[in-house]
């Protein structure tokens, strides 16, 4: 029902308490009940684990029995968008290993140590660390646990520092990934600059996913691995004046060309299949800006028609490609359900570089590490899962469930976000 003081429904935050503190009393009572149930549940699960075999984690691979070491993530209430991103990032070795190697930080002690607590925006607990909870989550994955890991502590920190993700509504996985990387970068910068991490997070709590300030300042593992640079070239069509600027990026958002919008499956007969190369070409091709995007020409001293072209000035170690599947039309946000063909190995980015002659042949080749897929028709509904490769095998991550899969299944997926890792020089040379 509606809460008249806070204006929220019962499954969201309540800001204003009554004069007698009744909301806080209810919260404390629920906390005690939850902690009791949590302790009993943990004891019961420990007994089950001690008495059970690992058969549910064994699979036949090439005639021999092998154990699945992957761990699923519990869905805490429409949190599949978060789980798919976390599983994808956990399979980017350079990125994951950095966080797992960080020293542990104990933020809670005394009566609250090891206990679940209820929090709201009114409690003012600034003693949180996204880096620490992210580190603990990554450490919990790939340990061969039979039971799925519950990322509730991380989700609490997300609620605390990223207001857009409060509540239990379905969220956009790409938007969450950008906020997550931005805030990890900011907190790591705070540690390097001698400024308290919590103060930086609070000052930047309204940071938008498109805000490029996340790239500025000291470099961190986020920018070192995901950071690239675009050259944005604009030409005035009246006087020919050329304007260039360099923009840092953590990912590239690619349109699916309109001529492919009706092609919903790889085997559908009407017309050619859209490929990732088509999307990249559409992103980097010369484009004439329309009347709503007139360029302010400093030579003409007025807004003029112009052309725009992107070049990649610097490729990142991990190339994250976001396919723009959601578009606003009138009052609705519709999904572009087009199948886009993508390579598992040898994505060649050389032809999109500003100065390809300065890059070695292997530096431009990328191999797929993970794919996030959105199932359903709209951004506010549906379900997210992820495919990722680990030690040469592909896995499908569907919240708590992790299953071994194969390359043929992966390439048929309707990708939403693709994570490509720069190929090392010793690898082969097959190309897209």
- Catalytic (active-site) positions: 80, 383
> What is the DSSP-derived secondary structure letter of residue 413?
S
CA–CA separation, 219 and 158 (whole Å): 23
Q: Quick check: 95 and 89 in contact, CB under 8 A?
A: yes
What dihedral angle (degrees, nearest 10) is formed by the CA atoms of 399, 405, 407, 410?
-30
Neighbours of 132 (CB within 10 A): 21
**For the chain, how many helices (H) and strands (E)?**
10, 20
- Other Cβ atoms within 10 Å of 282 Cβ, number: 17
> For residue 77, what are its two tokens?
């209430």
Q: Are strands 306-314 and 401-405 parallel, antiparallel or unpaired?
A: unpaired
Please name the residue ranges forming H helices in 196-352: 197-203, 221-226, 276-284
Question: From CA 315, how far away is CA 310, in angstroms rounded?
Answer: 13
By the 8 A CB rule, do 222 and 246 touch? Answer: no
What is the phi/psi pair of residue 176, to 5°?
-60, -45
Query: Do the Cβ atoms of 125 and 175 come closer than 8 Å?
Result: no
d(CA 351, CA 277): 10
Q: How far apart are CA 126 and CA 193, in angstroms?
A: 19
Please name the residues in contact with 378: beta carbons below 8 A apart, sequence gap of 6 or more.
326, 333, 334, 335
Q: Is 234 exposed, middle or buried (0-12, 13-18, 19+ CB in 10 A)?
A: middle
Query: H/E element holding 229?
Result: strand 228-236
The contacts of residue 219 (CB under 8 Å, 6+ apart) are: 227
Structure tokens at 111: 């009566």
Which helix (H) or strand (E) covers residue 390, if one does? strand 383-390
Instruction: Please give the Cα distance from 385 to 148 (Å, whole number).
Output: 15
CB-CB contact of 254 with 282 (8 Å): yes
């Amino acid at each position: 029902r509606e809460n008249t003081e806070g204006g929220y429904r019962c499954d969201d935050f309540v800001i204003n308490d009554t004069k007698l503190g009744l909301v806080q009393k209810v919260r404390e009572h629920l906390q005690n009940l939850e902690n009791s149930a949590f302790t009993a549940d943990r004891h019961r699960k420990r007994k089950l684990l001690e008495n059970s075999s690992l058969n549910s984690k064994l699979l036949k691979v090439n005639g021999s029995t092998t154990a699945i070491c992957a761990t699923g993530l519990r869905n805490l209430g429409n949190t599949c968008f978060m789980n798919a991103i976390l599983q994808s990032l956990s399979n980017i070795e350079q990125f994951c290993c950095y966080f797992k190697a960080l020293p542990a930080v104990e933020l809670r002690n005394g009566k609250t140590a090891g206990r679940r607590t209820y929090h709201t925006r009114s409690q003012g607990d600034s003693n949180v660390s996204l880096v620490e909870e992210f580190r603990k989550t990554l450490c919990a994955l790939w340990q061969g646990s039979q039971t799925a890991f519950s990322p509730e502590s991380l989700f609490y920190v997300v609620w605390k520092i990223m207001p857009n993700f409060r509540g239990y509504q379905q969220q956009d996985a790409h938007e969450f990934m950008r906020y997550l990387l931005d805030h990890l970068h900011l907190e790591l910068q705070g540690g390097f600059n001698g400024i308290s991490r919590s103060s930086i997070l609070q000052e930047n709590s309204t940071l938008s996913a498109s805000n490029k300030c996340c790239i500025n300042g000291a470099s961190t593992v986020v920018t070192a691995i995901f950071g690239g640079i675009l050259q944005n070239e604009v030409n005035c069509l009246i006087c020919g004046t050329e304007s260039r600027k360099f923009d840092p990026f953590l990912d590239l958002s690619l349109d699916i060309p309109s001529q492919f919008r009706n092609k919903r499956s790889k085997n559908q007969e009407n017309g050619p299949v859209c490929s990732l190369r088509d999307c990249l070409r559409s992103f980097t091709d010369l484009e004439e800006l329309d009347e709503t995007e007139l360029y302010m020409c400093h030579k003409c001293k007025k807004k003029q028609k112009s052309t725009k072209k992107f070049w990649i000035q610097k490729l990142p170690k991990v190339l994250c490609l976001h396919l723009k599947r959601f578009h606003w039309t009138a009052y609705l946000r519709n999904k572009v359900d087009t199948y886009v063909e993508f390579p598992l190995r040898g994505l060649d980015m050389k032809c999109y570089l500003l100065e390809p002659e300065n890059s070695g042949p292997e530096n431009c080749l990328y191999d797929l590490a993970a794919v996030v897929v959105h199932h359903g028709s709209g951004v506010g509904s549906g379900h997210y899962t992820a495919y990722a490769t680990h030690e040469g095998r592909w896995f499908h991550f569907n919240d708590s469930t992790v299953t071994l899969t194969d390359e043929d299944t992966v390439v048929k997926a309707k990708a939403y976000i693709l994570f490509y890792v720069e190929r090392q020089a010793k690898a082969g040379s097959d190309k897209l």
